[in-house]
Chains A and B, each alone.
Chain A
Amino acid sequence: MERKDYKSVGKAYRKKDSMQLLLGKPLYVDDITPDHALVVKILRSPYANAIIKNINTSIAKKVPGVVDVYTWEDVPKKRFTIAGQTYPEPSPYDRLILDQHVRFAGDAVAIIAAEDEKAAKKALKLIKVEYEKLEPVLDFHTAKDNPILVHPEENWTALCKVGADAKRNLVASGVDSHGDLDGVFKDCDIVLERTYHTKAYQQAMMETFRTYTEMDRYGRLHVISSTQIVFHVRRILSHALDIPKSRIRVEKPRIGGGFGAKQTSVCEMYPAFVTLKTGRPAKLIYTREESQIAASPRHEMEITVKLGANKDGTIRAIDLYTLSNSGAYGEHGPTTVGLSGHKSIPLYTGNLEAHRFSYDVVYTNHQAAGAYRGYGATQGIFALESIVNELAEQLGMDPTTIREKNMVREGMKMDAYYGEMANACALDKCLEHCKKMFDWDKKYPVRNMGNGKVRSAGVAMAMQGSSISNVDVGSATIKLGENGTYNLTIGAADMGTGCDTVLAQMAAECMDCSLDDVSVFGADTDVSPYDSGSYASSTTYLTGKAVEMACDDLKKQICTIGAEMIGCDVNDVIFNGKQVMTEDGKKSVSITDIAYKTQANSKYTGIGTASHSSPVSPPPYMVGMVEIELDLFTGKVDIIDYMAVVDCGIPINPALARIQTEGGIVQGIGHTLMENVTYDANGKPMESSFMQYKIPTRMDMGKLKVEFENSYEPTGPFGAKSIGEIVINTPGPAIAHAIYRATGKWYRELPITPEQIAMDLMEKESS
């Protein structure tokens, strides 16, 4: 294990933007763009499946202040995807800016551009639409091969071979396996089969979707958007608007949270279309309701998992089938499903002789799903970790013992993970550490607290990846400025995660300077080096490595210039952050003088730049343990303590890694206990505001304690792996486990509401 004492890496620095954020400076899309922009509003379909027979905009257009109203007849007819993915995207090309066929309650029907909000809202009410209502596909169990097609259109296409077939309502379908599955199952003492169900949770980032567009001084479309993926947005807009990419510039300011929601280009196309049509600045701010009903939530999944084991708890075979609901459009459908198997099954590599992972992803007339932190792994891990807990309870084994026996350990080859090696894996240490910190042996037994309340505990493990192997690109450019300070330019997106700071810490470490000497800028398609963007747990791992490489590039230049200046061979000098000098220290030149040299009579740029892709996606690992107090009469579950130990390799900034973990855990608690998604008869989500969609308050999450176990990932920068996504994966199975311990009932559908618990307990008592 390569370790050394670092100056900047491994330190809990404040985020570079923290004081600006905390003091409320104007930094977000709506703060920094002009108020006089046209207000853009979207008329949305009340029906889940309908054809627009007639649409009359003439009255709406007469409203004073209304500039124009656009319908499906006005937009380009080439289909595209709004999923932020590397080209060619695995997601199908099934979207138009506006379509004559609307496919979910909330689908866009018309775009209104007006001088002010009032006029736009008035016009919304005055557009007359005649719909031909069609029967919708609302049950994802019946979607595959349903005679009703969500996408009957002939110009639907899929660029990648993902098993998609619009004529069968299939967004993707596939299977992979290793070993003699049937043979091993036959030989097992116990075979359990269970089905688990998770919902289409909303990211519910505090800043809703929003985009500002204008024509810039060169007559190009300039887009300022709250996005995680500036480069993908540029390409998506070029497809949607049918204009060259060279005519588009996309930048992001500070982003008020993303969690994957802003890895889909949910709203950029509407104001962009308005600006192209009118030549005027335009702004679209989604309401919270739009962010709840026409956004990019998690894929609802139903996962059936079959587990084969011996009586001694040896887990030998896993068969996992996922049915995923992509909703009306296919964004991220083919890829999220993969993680439900590929990032759950490998946790049990220890004794695994055979596995199969198969899946179908279907279209329905629900709101289209997208990317949400965890990206399918969360759903898969809820299923697999729950069934392992069921197995342990059935065998009368301590659930931590069964994990110790079967978990993946460092040096193992993970057959269910593309055959990758677990080169850095401290999962065993995470479990041991968490057990001790949590006092598992004392808290695992159910304790009656009197007054109808019991306390119990649950456990789960998790993994994720670090970037998409062989696909994602991380890039960085570092420029030497006077005084030996640096400008780091990136295309990755700090959405509150702190990646600007984390990447700057790495640059400071490489350049042997202070963190304050590194300024960060990102992201802007005109300025930043190409980066796929911040998603798939890629930024620290991949862009971080690119920072290291770019710094190497620059250091070589610095040494070359310095060597020239002091008149010796480049191989005979060293750079110590302040000066280039000969190894004996007799001759030296300062970094300031080297910097000035690049500005006078120079052939050197003083710029280092690098792009990086990884052939592997090293998993971070985690163990979470929860203690709950359950009211046997009301069914209310109070979290007492949630403790977790994470192996993210070497944490570059331990404070930020900890906050990421705490935030992910609380989101997971929300999904498990309070955030529900139900639909009205038209297929519209009932939880259309924060009055109905209840994310946890600070009174609902108990106490958190997070610590780390380090491993050293050889392919990561300074040994780092990812942290952003894995942290959401343990609460579902751990809390469901604790609830089983308290009630004797396994809940296999999330969320688990007090009502369900209370009613089940009542039934149990009366029977």
Chain B
Amino acid sequence: MADKNVNNAIDLSDLGLDTITETETEFSIGAMVTLRQLELHEGLNTYTQNAIRQAVCDIVGVQFRNMATVGGSIFGRFGFSDVLTMFLTLDCDVELFQGGIVSLEQFSQMKPDNDILVRIIVKKTPGQFVYDSMRNTRTDFPVIACGVSCVNEEYRFSIGARPGKALLLRDEEHILKDGLTENNIRNMSKWVAAHTPTDSNLRGSAKYRTHLIDVFVQRNLIQLRGE
């Protein structure tokens, strides 16, 4: 930030978008909610079995998480975003000031424009969630981020820091239809690794990332199975 010329900054911080509202059916998360609020929110973490906490707790430091907003993180659709990776595993929509309500998956593929993200809506669809990431040092950007969920009996695999922006895959070939057997898990992780494009940067090569996707999908599925 130190070196950028800032001429116009719109400050959304005082518009009441900094709260998480929980109802019977959903969480409504204002765009200005901080990552730290996500980390500490009991309801969200109960619903996601602490996956959200796990997704944000290594992002830089408490001070940073007190400033960085969920809106900024998701609107930016950054490749390194743990937040986008995590939220893609949820049954989740975003509300845009002009564009109205669209699914997060759809939003994640839209090109950045001048619209404004107002809030994120997480539906309390029953599900299980696991999140993990590989980091070279604990508070660094991830080398790979991997969220796995089973929502309404549908498995979702969200892979971030490829290093491109997070990508959501489903079990299109019904590899897991007979359940999370050792063999199915292995085949599933191989399939996700094979179908996720990766690239190289300072933090890791494409080949290593593909290998890590295999490792983390496998581990997360085993954890999802509950052992």
Direct contact between the two chains A and B in their complex (CB within 8 A) = yes
B169 within 8 A of A: no
CA distance A507 to B212 in the complex (A): 59
Contact A694 B208 (CB under 8 A): no
Contact A700 B137 (CB under 8 A): yes
Closest chain B residue, CB of each to CB of A121:
B3
Could you tell me which residues of chain A, from 637 to 695, have a CB within 8 Å of some CB in chain B? 674, 678, 686-687, 691-692, 694
Contact B202 A686 (CB under 8 A): yes
Contact A758 B140 (CB under 8 A): no
B215 within 8 A of A: yes
Contact A694 B137 (CB under 8 A): yes
Neighbouring B residues of A32 by C-beta, 8 Å: none
Closest chain A residue, CB of each to CB of B144:
A634
Neighbouring B residues of A758 by C-beta, 8 Å: 208, 211-212
A759 within 8 A of B: yes
Q: Which of A633, A678, A686, A700 touches B138 (beta carbons < 8 Å)? A: A700
Chain A CB within 10 Å — which of B2, B138, B202 has the most? B138
Question: Given A678-B202, A686-B202, do A753 and B212 touch, yes or no (CB 8 Å)?
Answer: no
A409 within 8 A of B: no
Give, as a whole number of angstroms, the nearest-CB distance from A696 to chain B: 7
Q: Which of B134, B138, B202, B204 touches A692 (beta carbons < 8 Å)? A: B202
Contact A754 B134 (CB under 8 A): yes
Question: Given A758-B208, A759-B207, A759-B208, do A636 and B134 touch, yes or no (CB 8 Å)?
Answer: yes
A160 within 8 A of B: no
CA distance A674 to B202 in the complex (A): 12
Chain B CB within 10 Å — which of A633, A699, A754, A755 has the most? A755
Contact B137 A633 (CB under 8 A): no
CA distance A121 to B207 in the complex (A): 41
B139 within 8 A of A: yes
Neighbouring A residues of B139 by C-beta, 8 Å: 697, 699
A59 within 8 A of B: no
Neighbouring B residues of A694 by C-beta, 8 Å: 136-137, 140
Contact B136 A754 (CB under 8 A): yes
Give, as a whole number of angstroms, the nearest-CB distance from B156 to chain A: 22
A129 within 8 A of B: no
Give, as a whole number of angstroms, the nearest-CB distance from B3 to chain A: 8
Q: Contact flags (1/0) for B184-226 with A, using CB distance below 8 Å?
A: 0000000000000000001011011001100100000000000
How many chain A residues touch B (CB < 8 A): the figure is: 22
Could you tell me which residues of chain B, from 136 to 163, have a CB within 8 Å of some CB in chain A? 136-141, 143
Give, as a whole number of angstroms, the nearest-CB distance from B65 to chain A: 14
Contact A697 B208 (CB under 8 A): no
Contact A697 B137 (CB under 8 A): yes
Neighbouring A residues of B202 by C-beta, 8 Å: 678, 686-687, 692
Q: Which of A678, A697, A700, A759 touches B211 (beta carbons < 8 Å)? A: A759
Q: Which of B134, B140, B141, B207 touches A634 (beta carbons < 8 Å)? A: B134
Neighbouring A residues of B136 by C-beta, 8 Å: 674, 694, 753-754
Could you tell me which residues of chain A, from 689 to 736, have a CB within 8 Å of some CB in chain B? 691-692, 694, 696-697, 699-700
Give, as a whole number of angstroms, the nearest-CB distance from B93 to chain A: 32
A159 within 8 A of B: no
Q: Contact flags (1/0) for A511-523 with B, using CB distance below 8 Å?
A: 0000000000000
Give, as a whole number of angstroms, the nearest-CB distance from B4 to chain A: 11
A762 within 8 A of B: yes
Neighbouring B residues of A633 by C-beta, 8 Å: 215
CA distance A633 to B136 in the complex (A): 14
Neighbouring A residues of B212 by C-beta, 8 Å: 634, 758
Closest chain B residue, CB of each to CB of A762:
B211
Contact B215 A634 (CB under 8 A): yes
Neighbouring B residues of A762 by C-beta, 8 Å: 211
Neighbouring A residues of B3 by C-beta, 8 Å: 121
Neighbouring B residues of A687 by C-beta, 8 Å: 202
Neighbouring A residues of B211 by C-beta, 8 Å: 758-759, 762
Could you tell me which residues of chain B, from 104 to 150, have a CB within 8 Å of some CB in chain A? 134, 136-141, 143
CA distance A694 to B202 in the complex (A): 12
CA distance A699 to B137 in the complex (A): 8
CA distance A634 to B146 in the complex (A): 13
Neighbouring B residues of A700 by C-beta, 8 Å: 137-138
Give, as a whole number of angstroms, the nearest-CB distance from B108 to chain A: 24
Contact A674 B137 (CB under 8 A): yes
Chain B CB within 10 Å — which of A633, A691, A692 has the most? A633
Question: Given A634-B134, A636-B134, do A755 and B205 touch, yes or no (CB 8 Å)?
Answer: yes
Neighbouring B residues of A636 by C-beta, 8 Å: 134
Give, as a whole number of angstroms, the nearest-CB distance from B147 to chain A: 17
Give, as a whole number of angstroms, the nearest-CB distance from A753 to chain B: 7
Neighbouring B residues of A759 by C-beta, 8 Å: 207-208, 211
Contact B137 A696 (CB under 8 A): yes
CA distance A604 to B188 in the complex (A): 89
Neighbouring B residues of A686 by C-beta, 8 Å: 202
Give, as a whole number of angstroms, the nearest-CB distance from A157 to chain B: 39
CA distance A699 to B139 in the complex (A): 8
Neighbouring B residues of A754 by C-beta, 8 Å: 134, 136, 143
Closest chain A residue, CB of each to CB of B216:
A634
CA distance A674 to B143 in the complex (A): 13
Give, as a whole number of angstroms, the nearest-CB distance from A385 to chain B: 25
Contact B138 A755 (CB under 8 A): no
Question: Given A633-B215, A692-B202, do A755 and B208 touch, yes or no (CB 8 Å)?
Answer: yes
Chain B residues packing against A (C-beta within 8 Å): 2-3, 134, 136-141, 143, 202, 204-205, 207-208, 211-212, 215
When A and B form their complex, which 6 residue pairs have the shortest distance between CB atoms, in order from nearest?
Answer: A699-B138, A694-B137, A755-B208, A633-B215, A674-B137, A700-B137
What are some 15 contacts across the A-B interface (CB < 8 A)? A121-B3, A633-B215, A634-B215, A636-B134, A686-B202, A694-B137, A697-B138, A697-B139, A699-B137, A699-B138, A700-B138, A755-B143, A755-B205, A758-B208, A758-B212
Known contacts A121-B3, A697-B137, A755-B204; 19 additional CB pairs below 8 A are: A287-B2, A633-B215, A634-B134, A634-B212, A634-B215, A636-B134, A687-B202, A691-B141, A692-B202, A694-B137, A697-B138, A699-B138, A699-B139, A754-B134, A755-B143, A758-B208, A759-B207, A759-B208, A759-B211
Chain A residues packing against B (C-beta within 8 Å): 121, 287, 633-634, 636, 674, 678, 686-687, 691-692, 694, 696-697, 699-700, 753-755, 758-759, 762
